[in-house]
Amino acid sequence: MEIHTDVVIVGCGVAGLYSALKLPKDRQIVILTKSDAKSSDSFLAQGGICVQRDEDDYDSYFEDTLRAGHYENRKESVDIMIRGSRAVIHDLVEFGVRFEQENGEFVYTREGAHSRPRILFHEDITGEEITSTLLERARELPNVRLLEYTAMTDIIEEDGVCKGIIAESVQDTEEKPVRYEIYAGNTILATGGIGGKYQHSTNYPHLTGDAVDIAKAHGIRLEHLDYVQIHPTTLYSDKPGRRFLISESVRGEGAVLYNEKKERFVDELLPRDVVTKAIHEQMEEEGTKHVWLSMAPIPTEKILKHFPHIYEHCLEEGYDVTKECIPVVPAQHYFMGGIWVDSDSHTSMDRLYAVGETSCNGVHGANRLASNSLLESLVFAGRAAADIVRRGRTV
């Protein structure tokens, strides 16, 4: 089947959806996703989304992001993300996203490696709140066509220019898969992370870095493919499948890590890579498959209000976090590297953009600061849309 459109967007997590919403309503847009529209990592985000709280927060936010990233971050991108943060939050609220408030003011939480609380949240399901709202708004647009269970298998390259994508229906039916040739004036890759390539990951298994593989095959510039973040605390399980994340904001609110002897062995609020390393060393030393996380320092009332889903999930797995420690283990979580893009999210191929986790604009350097990813995805997805409008290219 042949489709002609102004913009094709591959992926409907926050990055893909926000690009679509920031494009003018007179552009025809096709969005596709390999799975159903709700199966994206964006729906899984628990902790929250960072924002520059006020003018005084700029320097410390900038420094926290760089310190966590081992000073390998692209400074221009970090600046763009921080300065763009308040406009993005304003947009989200306008779209209908609800963040925790008290007396009409936002409530901010803190996570590891942040020098002050600057994270907005919605219980412990911030990603679901943001992404389901964006999805609802996108579904209302008459110029947006959403194809679920449709996987990009290649891009269409003509004379070094991207002219769209090839895709295939992937629904589990007896029928022959439908092959799509989607010709577009602009193509946006928003296919998320690479966790599906790992045995233990917090990501959806269908997120297998397809855009990165396709980009590589076309000689498109890639960057830092070895920068993969391992999250220090996922609920230990010997069952196969996605690992359940115990958000960093749990430690931000006071939870502590224990070894087998129930002794603390690391400052829990150090950057993720440092805490992960300490846990691995502890497990090796003691010959254990996990360490312990205690939420005892957090008042029960706060656990039930701020972390109701973590509480319930752990209960289903047989642990009452208000009364006992839970076993935790590090797992693959986030991809800092990806398809190289400039500060407008443009790749090295003409008419091809990459946004969200599949792209590498250098914001995160060698290690992502907690809760910077939703924000980075949104800010740079907005910039891709603005660049498309600026260049005025249609089908």
Ligand X SMILES: Cc1cc2nc3c(=O)[nH]c(=O)nc-3n(C[C@H](O)[C@H](O)[C@H](O)COP(=O)(O)OP(=O)(O)OC[C@H]3O[C@@H](n4cnc5c(N)ncnc54)[C@H](O)[C@@H]3O)c2cc1C
**Which residues have CB under 8 Å from 229's CB, separation 6+?**
272, 273, 332, 333, 334, 335, 336, 367, 368
Which residues are known catalytic residues?
272
186 binds ligand X (CB under 6 A): no
Q: In what order do the strands lie in the sheet with 326-335?
A: 228-235, 326-335, 291-294, 256-258
- Binding ligand X (rule: CB under 6 A), the pick from 10, 68, 88, 215 is 10
CB neighbour class for 239 (10 Å; exposed up to 12, middle 13-18, buried from 19)? exposed
- State in angstroms the smallest separation of the CB of 238 from ligand X: 19
**In 3-state terms, what secondary structure has residue 360?**
strand
Q: Which of residues 327-346 bind ligand X (CB under 6 A)?
A: 334
Quick one: 210 or 259, whose CB is closer to ligand X? 210
5 binds ligand X (CB under 6 A): no
125 binds ligand X (CB under 6 A): no
Quick one: 151 or 259, whose CB is closer to ligand X? 151
SS3 content of the chain, % helix, strand, coil (to 5): 35, 25, 45
Question: Are 256 and 293 contacting, i.e. CB atoms less than 8 angstroms apart?
Answer: yes
Taking CB under 6 A as the binding criterion, the range among 293-301, 340-348, 368-376, 384-392 that sits at the site for ligand X is: 368-376
**Which residues have CB under 8 Å from 392's CB, separation 6+?**
none
- Binding ligand X (rule: CB under 6 A), the pick from 3, 19, 48, 252 is 48
Question: Are 355 and 188 contacting, i.e. CB atoms less than 8 angstroms apart?
Answer: yes
Taking CB under 6 A as the binding criterion, the range among 41-49, 63-71, 222-230, 289-297 that sits at the site for ligand X is: 41-49
- Binding pattern for the stretch 228-267 against ligand X, x by CB under 6 A and - elsewhere: -----------------x----------------------
Q: Which of residues 67-106 bind ligand X (CB under 6 A)?
A: none
- How far apart CA 73 and CA 367 sit, in angstroms, is 9
Quick one: 6 or 210, whose CB is closer to ligand X? 210
- State in angstroms the smallest separation of the CB of 261 from ligand X: 29
- Binding pattern for the stretch 146-165 against ligand X, x by CB under 6 A and - elsewhere: -----xx-------------
- How far apart CA 91 and CA 97 sit, in angstroms, is 9
Strands (E), 134-267: 144-147, 150-158, 161-169, 179-189, 222-223, 228-235, 256-258
361 binds ligand X (CB under 6 A): no
347 binds ligand X (CB under 6 A): no
Q: Which of residues 15-34 bind ligand X (CB under 6 A)?
A: 15-16, 32-34
**Residues making contact with ligand X (CB under 6 A):** 10-16, 32-35, 40-42, 44-49, 126-127, 151-152, 190-193, 202-203, 206-207, 210, 245, 334, 356-357, 371-374, 377
